[in-house]
Amino acid sequence: MLKLTWTALRILIVFTLLTGLLYPLAVTGLAQVAFPTQANGSVVNVAGKPAGSSLIGQGFTADKYLWSRPSATAPFAYNAAASTGSNLGPSNPALADAVKARVATLRKADPTNLAPVPTDLVTTSGSGLDPAISSAAAAFQLHRIAGARHIPAADVEHAITGCTQTPLLGIIGPAHVNVLCVNLALDGKRVQP
């Protein structure tokens, strides 16, 4: 029994060093050399300064910006230090109440738009940090943004198209629009890789 435990302990120590230390260190070393931008959070720069991450969403409430999806993170939306989803079940009245309030906010900001509200624009994402919205949700906001900025709708559309990701192989995942990318473009900020 003692011999068995001693062998087990040595095996555990060896594998802790090999898989718990050497392996992550080797991956980190190679990742930092080969893919430094991705390995450090895909931060995008404007005029040499960080201006957000292309993978992490930010919240927007001004009429002139494209709005992100609602976020369930606390204590404020899009808190990227503590990811979380709402975990509300489909039949939970709290979900219906929250969605009702979000629909009302969208209608108030753009009273002439009577189209059905795109589902993703009134539901929270799994991470609370979703950087994207659906093409339908972007199109839904197009005229509000153009109106608030006093620019032609085509300019907004151009910004949206430039930040749209099409489905993988044409079938996998819906087409979606990176919100921060659109808003930086609308503000005329040139993003450097």
Residues 113-172 within binding reach of other proteins (CB under 8 A): 116-120, 122-134, 136, 165, 167-172
Residues 38-77 within binding reach of other proteins (CB under 8 A): 38-43, 49-53, 55-56, 58-62, 65, 69, 74-77
State in angstroms the smallest separation of the CB of 50 from other proteins: 5
State in angstroms the smallest separation of the CB of 141 from other proteins: 14
Q: Which CB sits closer to other proteins, 133 or 146? A: 133
Q: Which class for 81: exposed (0-12), middle (13-18), buried (19 or more C-beta within 10 A)? A: exposed
* Angle, vertex CA 108, rays to CA 106 and CA 109, nearest 5: 65
- Closest by CA position to 11, among listed 3, 23, 28: 3
Which tokens go with 186? 């609308």
User: What x-and-dash track marks residues 78-107 binding other proteins by CB under 8 A?
Assistant: xxxxxxxxxxxxxxxx-xx--xx--x----
Q: Which CB sits closer to other proteins, 139 or 151? A: 139
Half-sphere exposure of 143 (CA within 13 A, CB side): 10
Cβ neighbours of residue 189 closer than 8 Å, sequence gap 6 or more: 46, 47, 51
State in angstroms the smallest separation of the CB of 107 from other proteins: 8
